[in-house]
Chain A
Amino acid sequence: AQSVAQPEDQVNVAEGNPLTVKCTYSVSGNPYLFWYVQYPNRGLQFLLKYITGDNLVKGSYGFEAEFNKSQTSFHLKKPSALVSDSALYFCAVRALGGSQGNLIFGKGTKLSVKP
């Protein structure tokens, strides 16, 4: 069965420091991986995706993610965190079967950036 794990419920970083939000996956076949961000009382917003090609994917708001097939990981990174990056982050993988629109989400990681 396909699954996504986000091992950290919360990540705390100081403004200006690099940040990493971890994600590991379990899929059959090629993974289609996504990161979304959720600000308070809002829906999820798409950040970036990995479909194929370069293992380093760049997305919105200065975020990037590194796909590592051997470690089955897709960690979200940013070189210099901002207070405004504080939000809930979700990793997701496209589900097998059904519609290609169906995603399986991790439980989410709360990112807190302190000034």
Chain B
Amino acid sequence: NAGVTQTPKFQVLKTGQSMTLQCAQDMNHEYMSWYRQDPGMGLRLIHYSVGAGITDQGEVPNGYNVSRSTTEDFPLRLLSAAPSQTSVYFCASTDDRSYNSPLHFGNGTRLTVT
């Protein structure tokens, strides 16, 4: 069982470049989300989705776009990368129908913007 898979594991971008961080889950979870992790700041929610075709903003959405065309995939797009987006990005999913369900996390993508 793969769980939540994120690609790539590492990425270096120049300021202004664009890229897509991929996230896929094989647990048929309705809820998926993207967090960024920065030293001393914990994890902050970027965007989330409660099902295919439905997305919404989290705490720090600026500079990021998302879409959810299938239940399995939830890509995160950086249209014009900035050094402030240097971070570790985590995708997570859960069964949204229960408050008891924990989040399942991928292993992260470490992004550096120069």
Contact = CB atoms under 8 A, between A and B. Distances in A.
Interface of A: 9, 32, 34, 36, 41-46, 49, 51, 90, 94-95, 98-103, 105-108
Given A43-B105, A43-B108, A46-B102, A98 B96 contact: no
Interface of A is mostly: loop
B42 A44 contact: no
A99 B96 contact: yes
Given A43-B105, A51-B99, A102 B48 contact: yes
Nearest to B98: A100
A94 B4 CA distance: 20
B15 to A, nearest CB: 26
A17 to B, nearest CB: 26
Which 4 pairs across A and B sit closest by C-beta, in order of nearness? A43-B105, A46-B102, A101-B31, A105-B42
B50 interface: yes
Interface of B: 4, 31, 33, 35, 40-45, 48, 50, 56, 58, 90, 92, 94, 96, 99-108
Contacts of A41: 107-108
A32 B31 contact: no
Given A99-B31, A99-B48, A106-B42, A94 B99 contact: yes
A3 B45 CA distance: 13
Most chain B beta-carbon neighbours within 10 Å: one of A94, A98, A99, A108: A99
A105 B41 CA distance: 9
Nearest to A35: B102
Given A49-B100, A51-B99, A102-B33, A43 B90 contact: yes
Contacts of A95: 45
Contacts of B90: 43-44
A102 B99 contact: no
Contacts of A34: 102
A100 B23 CA distance: 20
